[in-house]
Structure formats: C-alpha cells, structure tokens
C-alpha cells in the first residue's frame, strides 16, 4: 500500500507541477514585462554612452512580452555583443518575468578630432565608436593628425604608448591634452596646464615619462618656463625654454 502511494506520488506530483507550469505559461504569466539594463564599472553613465544605451534599450524591447523561458539567451547575447562599444554582456532570467542584462562597456582611451566639429572615441583595439560632440566627449587625450583617421593600427599603437606613460606625476596620462605622431620623430605629447610639447619617440615611454616628470618638477621649483622638452634621447632630456630661439 505504501509502495503504491509512493508510486502515485512519484508520477502525480511531477505531472501536477508540469500541468501548472504549462497553464501559467499559456496564460502569459512568464511573459517578460521588465528588462533590467545595467551598465557596470560606470558609477555615473558618461554622456557619450547615453545615446548608445538608449538605442540598445529600444532594441531589447522586441523581447518584451515573449516567454522568459523561450527566449534564446545565446541569440540575445550575440545581438548585444555585435555593438562595438560593448566589452562583455551577462544575461540572467529572473523569475517569473524579468530579464536582467548586465553590460560592461569598452573603455575609451583616446579621442580623435574629426572634421565637422565631431569627435571619435577610440577604444583599446584602435577602433572608433560613434561620433560625439564636444559636450558628450569623454575626458581623455586628443589625437591630432590625419594619419590617425586612416590607420587603425596606429591608433591602437597610440593607446599602447599612452598606457606606458606613468599614471601619476607631473608628466602622466592625466596631464596630457594632445598626442601627435610623426613617422620620423615618433610621438609628441602636449601638456594640459602649460602647453609644453614633449617629444617622446616610440620606445621606453615609462622611463622617458619619469625623466620628464623630474624635469617638470625642477622647472616648477625654479619658475622656468619651457616650450619644448625632448625626451627622445638615450640618457638625457633636452629642454628648450620659452626665451630660446
């Protein structure tokens, strides 16, 4: 008798649960009524990201009203990852009718000054994101020169060059306003505060950056004003003061 009850329970309980799920599914109980779109690693959403997030939000609206359990998360993930500004996406079903989308945007490393007053954000692989105006532009160094518009590899190389510059100090990533490139002389970097142009070449950026920081600290302490600092030398730094020819 007990065995019979166990067998009945074994079959009837899953059957009842399956029927309940089927009924709820047919009634639309699991249809997506809310899509949480969360942007990671950005406490405050940068202005340049806002239109991109809005566009993605609108694209995800097609899944609203669909069954949460029938949505192909791989398909949705593939669609989202096709956006060139997205680094990574994580999708999660939340019972009973919510889809959670967590995205990590690519970090903008540089900004290219395009014609027409527009700026093109540059990410780590050298690719461009969609143009933004001056008010939306992120606060990163500006690439100046036509060569950057034509060569993705040069933009990627420029990102790598910038990241070898010290993070802190009188000469650091935060103090650089513009980056230019010359095929013969390498990189020139302009400082935000003083407008000093620093010749960096293409190699040993970290070492040269540390030397330049020491030179700038010395000049500040003695009230010297320079217009050019040439760090592209083997063991020294050449400074051209503003009064020099």
pLDDT of residue 121: 94
Q: Do 115 and 100 have their domain in common?
A: no
Q: Domain count for the chain, please give it.
A: 2
Q: Do 212 and 115 have their domain in common?
A: yes
Neighbouring-strand partners of residue 98: 34, 94
Report phi then psi at 115, rounded to 5: -75, 155
Assigned domain for 40 exists: yes
Report phi then psi at 89, rounded to 5: -135, 140
pLDDT of residue 33: 83
Query: Apex CA 118: angle with CA 51 and CA 141, to 5°?
Result: 95
pTM exceeds cut of 0.85: no
pLDDT of residue 206: 87
Distance CA 52, CA 47 (A): 10
Q: Do 44 and 100 have their domain in common?
A: yes
Domain end call among 105, 134, 158: 105
Q: How would you class 118 by CB atoms within 10 Å of its CB: exposed for 0-12, middle for 13-18, buried for 19 or more?
A: middle
Question: CB-based contacts of 189: which residues, under 8 Å, 6+ apart?
Answer: 141, 165, 176, 178, 179, 180, 197, 198, 200
Q: Are 185 and 148 in contact (CB under 8 A)?
A: no
pLDDT of residue 168: 86
pLDDT of residue 90: 93
Assigned domain for 185 exists: yes
pLDDT along the chain (245 residues), means of 10: 48 48 48 86 77 91 85 91 92 88 93 87 93 88 92 95 89 94 94 94 89 92 91 85 67
Q: Do 125 and 58 have their domain in common?
A: no
Q: Do 234 and 126 have their domain in common?
A: yes
pLDDT of residue 13: 52
Look at phi and psi of residue 117 and say left if phi exceeds 0, alpha if psi is from -120 to 50, else beta.
left
Q: Are 122 and 109 in contact (CB under 8 A)?
A: yes
Distance CA 200, CA 186 (A): 7
Distance CA 200, CA 96 (A): 58
Assigned domain for 15 exists: no
Q: Are 171 and 198 in contact (CB under 8 A)?
A: yes
pLDDT of residue 31: 75
171-218: pLDDT as tens digits: 999 999 999 999 999 999 999 989 999 999 988 888 899 899 999 999
């Amino acid at each position: 008798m007990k065995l019979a009850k166990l067998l009945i329970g074994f079959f009837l309980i899953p059957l009842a649960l399956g029927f309940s799920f089927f009924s709820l599914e047919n009634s639309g109980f699991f249809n997506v009524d809310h899509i949480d779109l969360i942007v990671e690693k950005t406490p405050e959403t940068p202005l340049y990201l806002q239109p991109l997030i809005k566009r993605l939000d609108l694209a995800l609206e097609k899944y609203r009203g669909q069954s949460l359990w029938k949505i192909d998360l791989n398909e949705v993930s593939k669609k989202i990852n096709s956006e060139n500004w997205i680094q990574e996406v994580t999708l999660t079903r939340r019972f009973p009718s919510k889809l959670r989308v967590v995205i990590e945007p690519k970090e903008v490393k540089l900004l290219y000054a395009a014609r027409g007053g527009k700026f093109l954000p540059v990410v780590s692989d050298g690719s461009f994101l969609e143009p933004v105006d001056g008010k939306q532009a992120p606060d990163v160094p500006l690439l100046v020169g036509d060569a950057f518009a034509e060569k993705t590899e040069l933009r990627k190389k420029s990102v790598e060059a910038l990241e070898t510059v010290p993070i802190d100090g009188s000469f650091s990533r935060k103090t650089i306003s513009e980056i230019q490139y010359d095929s013969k002389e390498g990189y020139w970097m302009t400082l935000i505060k003083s407008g000093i142009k620093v010749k960096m070449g293409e190699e040993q950026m970290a070492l040269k950056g540390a030397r330049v920081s020491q030179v700038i600290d010395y000049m500040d302490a003695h009230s010297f004003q320079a217009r050019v600092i040439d760090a592209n030398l083997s063991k020294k730094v050449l400074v051209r003061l503003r009064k020099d020819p």
